[in-house]
Amino acid sequence: MTGTTNDAGVPRARGGTPRTPPDGKAEAAGVRPGLTLAVVAVVQFMVSLDISVVNVGLPQIATGLGFDAVGLTWVIHAYALTFGGLLLLGGKAADRYGRKRMLLLGLGLFGLASLAGGLAQAPGQLVAARTVQGIGAAALAPAALSLLTATFPSGRERVRAFGVWSATNAAGGAFGVVIGGVLTQYASWRWVMLVNVPMALGAMALAWRGVRAAPPAARGSRPDVLGAVLATAGMTLLVFGVVRTDRHGWTSAATLGTLAAAVVLLAAFVAVERTTARDPLIRLGLFANRSVSGANAFNLLVGMAMTPSFYFASLYLQEILGHGPAMTGVMFLPFTFGLIAGSVLAVKLGYRVPPRILLVAGGLLGTVGFAWFGMISADGSFAADILGPSIVASVGFGLCLGPVVSIATAGVAPHETGTASGLLNSSRQIGASLGLAALGTAAQRRTGHPVTLHSLNSGYALGLTLGAALLLAAVTVALTALRHTPAPTPTPTAPTPEQAPA
C-alpha cells in the first residue's frame, strides 16, 4: 500500500496513521530522531532563554532607553503577548504549510528581530522588536514541538524525548537569567538581544540538515488570521487594562472601558471560531478532551506564577540586596540546577508514575517554595531568603514541565498536534503576561509612595505569596480535571491512547 511520510520521515499509511519501522531500521526508513531532537532542544532553549534573559538587564534597559516603571514591563509583555496570542496560528500554519518550513521562517524572523532590538535607540523601538520576536517564536515553537510529538509517538522514547525537551526548556529559562546578568554587567544590556542572532543562525543550519521536509499533516483552507488577531488584541487590551490600574482605579471609566473592549474582542474570537471560520484557529471541541483542557488550565496558572517570580526575585536581589547583574545571574544557578534535576527526576519516575501525580507533586513543591519566598526581608541575604526556596520551587517546576506536555497532546488526532502544541505554549505565555500584570500591579500598590527599601520588599513579597496561591490552584486543577490520565506505556507495540483520534 502506497503512503506518505510525516515530518519525522516515518511512513504514513493512506489513512494517516504512522507506521513505526522495526527497531534498528529507523535510519533506513529515513528517520533521523537524534537530529530532530537536537533541533527541537536548541529551538526550545532559545525561546525559553528569551523569556528570561532580559529580566536581569531591566534596570539597565530602563536607564539606557528612558523607560518608566510601567513602560518597562512592556519589554516582557510585548514578547509574551504576541508569542502567546499567535501560537495557535503558528500551530495551524505548521499543520497547513509544513513544520520544517514554519520552523525556518520563524527562526529567520526571530534572528532579525533580535538584531533590531539590540540596536534600538528608543523605548518604542525595543518594544516593537520584542513584538516581532514574539511573532517569530509563535511560528517556530509549535512547529518544533509538533515535530517532537510526531517523531516520538509513544513509549520510553517519548518519555525520554520529552525529558530532554523539558530539561532544555528549563535550562533556557533559568540560564537566561545568568547569561543576561553576565552580558549586562560586562558587555551591555544590548547583548541580551544580540546573543539570539548566532543561536538563530545555528538552529537554522541544524534544522536545514536535521529535519526532513515532508508533506504537511493537514490540508485545507487558509489559517484563521482574523481569529488570531481578535485573540491577540483581546489579550493585549486585557493586560493593558490591568496594568493601567496604577494610574486609573478599577472602577474608573478608562479601566472599565478597556476591560469591556477586551471582553468584546475575546467574545468575537469565540464567535468566529464557532460560526464563521472555515478553518478555525482552534476547534473548540478540542477542549472536550479533559487532558487538553486540564493541562492548559494547569499551564496557565503555572505561567501566571513563574514569570513574575523571575521578575520579583531579580529586582529583589538588585534593588534590595544591592547585587550587580552578573552576581544576580549567578544567584539564579541553584534555581537552574533544581529545574534540571526536577526534569530528570520526572523522566525517571515517568515510566512508573502517572503524569497527573507528577503534576500534583511538582505543584505542591512549587507552592511551598513560593510561600517561603514570600518571607523575604529587606535586611535579608541570599542564603537566608533565596537559596532554600529556589531549590524547592525549581525542583517542583522541573517535575511538571515534561508531564504537562505529554498530557496536553494525549488523545489528539495527528492533524491537530500542531494546534495542540501551540495551545499549550500559548496558555503558558498568556499566563505569564496576565500574571505579571496582575501580580505586578498588586506589588506596586503594596509598595505605595514614598518608595523605600522596606516598602519595595513588601511589594515583592506580596507578589511571590500570590504566586503560591496560583500554584495551589494549579494543583487543584490537576487533582480534579486530570483524574483519569494514564501513565505512558513503555513498549509501543500497538497504538496508544496518545495516538488515537480525538
Q: DSSP assignment of 151-168, as one string?
A: HS-SHHHHHHHHHHHHHH
pLDDT of residue 366: 94
pLDDT of residue 491: 31
The model's pLDDT over 293-323, given as tens digits with 9 standing for 90+, comes to 888 999 999 989 988 888 888 889 988 998 9
pLDDT at 372 over 50: yes
List the beta bridge partners of residue 12.
4, 18
Q: How would you label 247-286 residue by residue, b for 16+ Cβ within 10 Å and e otherwise? A: eeeeeeeebeebbebbeebbebbeebbeeebeebbbbeeb
Q: Which of 6-20, 248-262, 386-400 is modeled with the greatest confidence?
A: 386-400
The domains found in the chain, sorted by start residue, are 31-213+279-481 (1.20.1250.20), 224-278 (no CATH)
- Rounded to 10 deg, the angle between the 290-315 and 453-481 helix axes is 170
pLDDT of residue 24: 38
What is the chain's percent helix, strand, coil content, to nearest 5? 75, 0, 25
Q: Determine the Cα–Cα distance for residues 241 and 433; give it in Å rounded to an integer.
A: 12
pLDDT of residue 221: 59
CA distances from 244 to 70, 237, 445, 448, 489 (A): 8, 10, 12, 15, 49
The model's pLDDT over 182-200, given as tens digits with 9 standing for 90+, comes to 888 888 889 989 988 998 8
Nearest of 307, 305, 438, 453 to residue 370 by alpha carbon: 305
Q: Are 34 and 206 within 8 A, CB to CB? A: no
Query: Which residues have a Cβ under 8 Å from the Cβ of 149 and sit 6 or more positions away?
Result: 409, 417, 421
pLDDT of residue 10: 41
Q: Are 170 and 117 within 8 A, CB to CB? A: no
Higher pLDDT, residue 212 or 464:
464
| Poorest-pLDDT segment among 115-119, 207-211, 260-264, 416-420 | 416-420
Q: Are 261 and 237 within 8 A, CB to CB? A: yes
The full 3-state SS of 4-24, as one line of letters, equals EECCCCCEECCCCCECCCCCC
Tracing cell 529583589 back to the chain, one arrives at: 316
Nearest of 371, 355, 408 to residue 146 by alpha carbon: 408
Q: Determine the Cα–Cα distance for residues 258 and 261; give it in Å rounded to an integer.
A: 5
Residue 221 CA from chain centroid, whole number: 28
pLDDT of residue 130: 92
CA distances from 94 to 145, 308, 328 (A): 10, 30, 38
Question: Cβ–Cβ contacts within 10 Å for residue 348, how many?
Answer: 11
pLDDT at 486 over 50: no
Any idea of the CA torsion for 230, 232, 233, 235, to the nearest 10 degrees?
A: 110
Q: How many CA atoms lie within 13 A of 25 on its CB side?
A: 8
pLDDT at 346 over 80: yes
Going by pLDDT thresholds of 50, 70 and 90, the confidence category of residue 25 is very low
Query: Which residues have a Cβ under 8 Å from the Cβ of 424 and sit 6 or more positions away?
Result: 145, 295, 296, 299, 404, 405, 408, 409
pLDDT of residue 174: 66
pLDDT at 118 over 80: yes
Q: Are 92 and 418 within 8 A, CB to CB? A: yes
Nearest of 130, 22, 20, 31 to residue 76 by alpha carbon: 130
Residue at 470: amino acid letter = L
pLDDT at 110 over 90: yes
Q: Determine the Cα–Cα distance for residues 319 and 309; give it in Å rounded to an integer.
A: 15
Tracing cell 516603571 back to the chain, one arrives at: 69
Overall average pLDDT of the 325-330 stretch: 87
List the beta bridge partners of residue 4.
12
pTM: 0.73
Q: Are 129 and 120 within 8 A, CB to CB? A: yes
Going by pLDDT thresholds of 50, 70 and 90, the confidence category of residue 223 is low
Q: Determine the Cα–Cα distance for residues 298 and 182; give it in Å rounded to an integer.
A: 33
